[in-house]
Structure 1
Amino acid sequence: MFKRILLPTDGSELSARAVLAGASFAKEIGAQVVGLTALPDFKAFTANTEMLESTEGEYLTASEARGNHYLAAIADAARAAGVEYTLHLVRSDDPHDAILRTARDHGCDLIVMASHGRRGLRGMLLGSETQKVLLHSSIPVLVYR
């Protein structure tokens, strides 16, 4: 059935739950896990307070440490489930593009990701990375709520 499952994370509690469910599912079906976190590039002009308060080098170092922390949670879940895994930290201002590109580049045949469940005007204005992945993905996407 599925051989390689992409588990993207943004470090949120909802993503952490989706990662655990995805790793458990991978164990049940004998699949491998591909872990991913996508971090934005540094911009001199931004509303992101982390970037405003840092030099480019400081921001990149701090964000990479944060991304590695997110990926460590995927590694822990995969090890606990006893499944093979690889981890990828990418720079992208469009997480849904990074998710789709990573799935394609690493031969994933399923994406398991969380949904924050925004609805109505808030959901329309903020958009949803999960919704964008669902819209543009050519492979199945399992949304964990």
Structure 2
Amino acid sequence: MYSRIVVGIDGSELANKALRHALKLAKESEARVFVVTATEPSLIIAPGAEMMAVNTGEIIAELEAAKTKSAAATLDEAEELAKTTGQTIEKIHVPSSLAADAIISTAQAQGASLIVMGSHGRRGLGRLLLGSQASEVLARSDIPVLVVK
């Protein structure tokens, strides 16, 4: 039924629950699983910044490095979860992107037959997969979406 499943994750327990469900579906249908996580673009907002000179390039580079490290850890956790079921996944990090955009573009690029994601996730730096992102994927995707609660 499904040959290529894209799973959006953010490291939250609900995202892991969605991944476990996707892995079960993949095992039953012998589908490939692509696990994607996204990190938002780094922005620096400093009131009164017009009065001072700051090298924001270095700060943003450090933020991006920290988010990349966090995304890698999230994807590594997903890989370990898949290994416990005897399955493999393909890990994808989409930097500087909203979760919905990353999930939809990954699903299209991979020729996915199903998108699986949690209904909401953990908030904070480098963690995306919020209820609004799930709603956005549901509204914009022309690929079937399974939302796990």
For the aligned pair, the TM-score class normalised by the smaller chain equals 0.7 to 0.9
SS of the aligned residue for 2:41 comes to coil
Q: Could you tell me the TM-score, scaled by structure 1's length?
A: 0.81
Structure 2: how far apart are the matches of 1:42 and 1:8? 20
Partner residue, 1:86: 90
Which 4+ stretches in 1 moved above 6 angstroms?
A: none
Structure 2: how far apart are the matches of 1:30 and 1:94? 29
Q: Does 1:136 align with 2:146?
A: no
Structure 2: how far apart are the matches of 1:100 and 1:27? 23
Partner residue, 2:20: 20
Residue 32 of structure 1 and its aligned partner are, at CA, apart by 0.8
Partner residue, 1:116: 120
| Number of residue pairs aligned between Structure 1 and Structure 2 | 131
Partner residue, 1:55: 59
Q: Could you tell me the TM-score, scaled by structure 2's length?
A: 0.79
* Aligned sequence identity (%): 36
Q: Aligned AA for 2:114? A: L
Residue 127 of structure 1 and its aligned partner are, at CA, apart by 5.9
Q: Does 1:36 align with 2:40?
A: no
Q: Which structure: larger Rg? A: 2
1:39/1:90 contact within 8 Å kept: yes
Structure 2 unpaired stretches of 5+: 47-55, 122-129
Aligned residues: CA RMSD: 2.1
Structure 1 unpaired stretches of 5+: 47-51, 118-125
SS of the aligned residue for 1:11 comes to coil
1:5/1:109 contact within 8 Å kept: yes
Single out whichever of 96-105 and 36-45 deviates more from structure 2.
36-45
More contact order relative to length (CA 8 Å, sep ≥ 6): 2
2:6/2:34 contact within 8 Å kept: yes
Structure 1: how far apart are the matches of 2:93 and 2:120? 21
